[in-house]
Structure 1
Amino acid sequence: MTPIRLLAIALIVACTAVAWFLLGGALAIRTKETDQRLSATVAGNWGQPIVQKHPQAFYIAPTAARTKRTIQPEMSKVKVSLHSDPKKKGLLWYRAYTVDFDGEYTLKNPTPIVQTVYVSFEFPAKEIRFDRFAFLLGDLPTKKSPKDGVITEAVILEPNEEVSLHLSYAAAGLDHWSYTFGDAPKVSGFQLEMVTDFAEFDIPAGSESPTERQPAETGGWQMTWNYVDVIGAHSIAMEMPAVTNPGPVASRMTFFAPVSLVFFFAVLIILGSIRGINLHPMNYFLLAAGCFAFQLLFAYLVDLIPILFAFGVAAVVSLALVNGYLAGVAGSRFALLGAVAQFAYMVLFSYSFFFDGLTGITITVGAIVTLALLMFFTAKTDWAEVFRKKNDTVAKPFPPPVPGTGGSVVS
């Protein structure tokens, strides 16, 4: 292996890296444009993040100022059932879900006189379909339609009299569901029981963790939040499970592919030098093209078939191209070493992008293991001999002239 050939191979790696960067950029732009184009459609079909507000009740104080006085529920028992139902559009998965909400509240007239108490329910989001909606104040269901997203009913209560409020609905949303207490200075007698059908859950930052948690029969969790007497209560929220998005994964995988190619070619060059297999730069050009086929095929398959299946098909095709060619050029034994190297550096490294936070450690471990193996197998290699040019041999002396030939040399 001469320095000129090494320079040619480095140029091939650089050109292949440019091709990968162009492909990764195209994937990133395509994913972004798809998300922007479909955002309104997705929200219209599958809803928005649902933020359920605590019911509001108030009465008008019989004073000259006619001040509005807020009443907080004496008791609240809320049941929420969340069903994760992710939807795919183009290169993106959207974390859609359905929610069944049921709330029982008790309101009380805290004054020593008869009061007309107004109870308002603010719908958690606009342009969302609410099925099986129920609003019962006492035993009377509301007949009103929402005005600016709010339904308000009134009831006359005797001093210290209580009235029940029942709210329920089924709706579809995106990303997360939350329950907020607004400006309530104090929350008393509140309990929320949430049942999910997914095992992986995430409590958003700034939200309260559940008081109790246990596995549910649905395969998810049954969680309970109890607020006996809480001042400054934080919201209750649940993020939907993370879904692997084909577009971003394919884009990141493509941008980092040159790292894999450098490792792969380094192994081929060093092992080839040890075994006396000196591949031509044209061979490396075709091998690089076979490696590039992995990300290229994967980038366009993820839009048509499940992401893991697309990954498997692309990996098998690339392995067959590269190592089939390598077997024809350098023999089956060297091709077997190449297959192991490509599987480790191209396939396993790319697979790490399916797991957030593992890419960096994968590169680090791969580099250290590669270094250790190469140091072990090349410890006794005479590198001066390996990189010596074939024509760096001592020139043979010309034979002496034959007498009687006039000084000419007879060969």
Structure 2
Amino acid sequence: MNAFRFFLIILIYLAAALAWVVLGGTIEWRTHDTGLALSDEVTERWGPSGLVQRAPALSLTGAGDPARSDIEVRFDHQNRYMGLVWFSTYVVDFRGTYIVAARAAGEKPDQFIFDLPAGARAFENLGISLDGLPRDVAEAKDGNRLWLQAPADGKEHVVAVSYRTQGRDRWIYDLARGREEKRGGSSYRGGSDADQAADAGQAALVKALRLVATTNFRDIDYPKGCVSPTPRAAEPADGGTKAEWHFENRSTRERIGIEMPARENAGPIAARMSFHAPVSLFFFFTVMFTVVVLKKVPLHPMHYLFISAGFFAFHILLAYLVDHIDIHLAFWISAAVS
């Protein structure tokens, strides 16, 4: 093999590698662009990505929290396919029961304030009650907030809130009610001793909390920055998973959350396969070139071009088919054709 033919083989390999890079970049761009285009539409149907339910507050006790919180949440998760992209959606049934500590007769009554998750499209079965007596939601609701007065009569009072709504990707229960977000929305950890002392004072005191989350899936995970179930790990239950959190007199800025399982989109998989294809072609050319030299077979560079085209045909057909059929079926069809 002369130097000119060897140069042509290298040129063919580089051209094929460039074509794969362009194909992979095109698939990535198309998937990303489709996801962005559909994100607003999915939000309109299913709500925002990451619903955050803040813990209730007692307005007349500053950063006060209920004496006890007993919360049950049930998630019905489903991956939905829309416009070539998978979206992780869920329906959440929330019920929270809160104990408001007794205040002596003659003192100012506590105002129980409960902020509903921001961005949620709708709330079904929305209700609030005091000591088992339902209250008129229209009177208790002010914008995205529910509130009522707990009488100061020397007795504890039980406030219950329930609703059903929809969201995507994850659900979070914010124990500190967003108080860790300071100075431009980020968590502040530096500064003077006085600043750090003030920051420490922002933590919520969770006097007694029990939160039970039940899902219809087994592969449970927790968002970054959220605490894992305690004292026991999550357990399988009724075809899903049951996770419990128990806190007693805990000063914290932590959150409790559930990450919904997401189905990987076919686009990124096809893109990664395209980006790594030059490696397999390089090894194939290396083996074939070694055999050609040892056996002294006078292969023309066009043979290398046709082999490169066969490799590339697999990926370009796969890139087309994953938009229309299951990726596993697309893989085998592309392999058979190429």
Q: TM-score range by the shorter chain?
A: 0.7 to 0.9
Match of 1:165 in 2: 159
Deviation (angstroms), 1:130:
1.8
* Contact 1:71 1:107 (C-alpha < 8 Å) held by counterparts: no
* Contact 1:102 1:166 (C-alpha < 8 Å) held by counterparts: yes
Match of 2:228 in 1: 209
Deviation (angstroms), 1:141:
2.1
Match of 1:139 in 2: 132
- Structure-2 change in CA distance of 1:10 and 1:143 (3 Å): same
Distance 2:271 2:12 in 1: 21
Deviation (angstroms), 1:186:
0.7
- Confirm or deny that 1:119 pairs with 2:117: no
Q: Judge which range, 195-204 or 37-46, deviates more.
A: 195-204
Question: Percent identity over the alignment?
Answer: 34
Q: How does 1:351-390 map to 2 (within 5 A)?
A: none
Deviations, residues 230-276 of structure 1 (Å, cap 9, x unaligned): 01241101211232122222222212221221112212222344445
Match of 2:195 in 1: none
Distance 1:219 1:274 in 2: 61
- Structure-2 change in CA distance of 1:127 and 1:180 (3 Å): closer
Aligned mate of 1:150, from 142, 145, 149:
145
Q: How does 1:211-250 map to 2 (within 5 A)?
A: 211=230, 212-250=232-270
* Contact 1:109 1:115 (C-alpha < 8 Å) held by counterparts: no
Deviation (angstroms), 1:21:
2.0
Match of 1:312 in 2: 332
Distance 2:298 2:92 in 1: 64
- Structure-2 change in CA distance of 1:144 and 1:84 (3 Å): closer
Query: Higher RCO, 1 or 2 (CA under 8 Å, sep at least 6)?
Result: 2
Distance 1:276 1:201 in 2: 59
Q: CA RMSD in A?
A: 2.1
- Structure-2 change in CA distance of 1:194 and 1:275 (3 Å): farther
Q: Which ranges in structure 1 are unaligned for 5 or more consecutive residues?
A: 60-67, 319-411
> Aligned pair count?
309
Match of 1:58 in 2: 59
Distance 1:91 1:273 in 2: 47
Match of 1:17 in 2: 17
Q: How does 1:257-406 map to 2 (within 5 A)?
A: 257-318=277-338
Amino acid at match of 1:185: A
Aligned mate of 1:108, from 72, 76, 101:
101
Q: TM-score, normalised by structure 1?
A: 0.70
Q: Which ranges in structure 2 are unaligned for 5 or more consecutive residues?
A: 180-202
Deviations, residues 132-187 of structure 1 (Å, cap 9, x unaligned): 2221122232323343311222232312x111111222222111111011246310
- Structure-2 change in CA distance of 1:12 and 1:166 (3 Å): same
Deviation (angstroms), 1:200:
2.3
Deviation (angstroms), 1:101:
1.5
Structure 1 SS opposite 2:142: coil
Match of 2:206 in 1: 187
Deviation (angstroms), 1:304:
0.9
Aligned mate of 1:178, from 169, 172, 181:
172
Query: Rg bigger for which structure?
Result: 1
Match of 1:87 in 2: 80
Q: TM-score, normalised by structure 2?
A: 0.84
Indicate the structure with greater strand content.
2
* Contact 2:315 2:334 (C-alpha < 8 Å) held by counterparts: yes
Amino acid at match of 1:163: H
Amino acid at match of 1:207: C
* Contact 1:176 1:238 (C-alpha < 8 Å) held by counterparts: yes
Distance 2:239 2:337 in 1: 37
Structure 2 SS opposite 1:32: helix
Match of 1:329 in 2: none
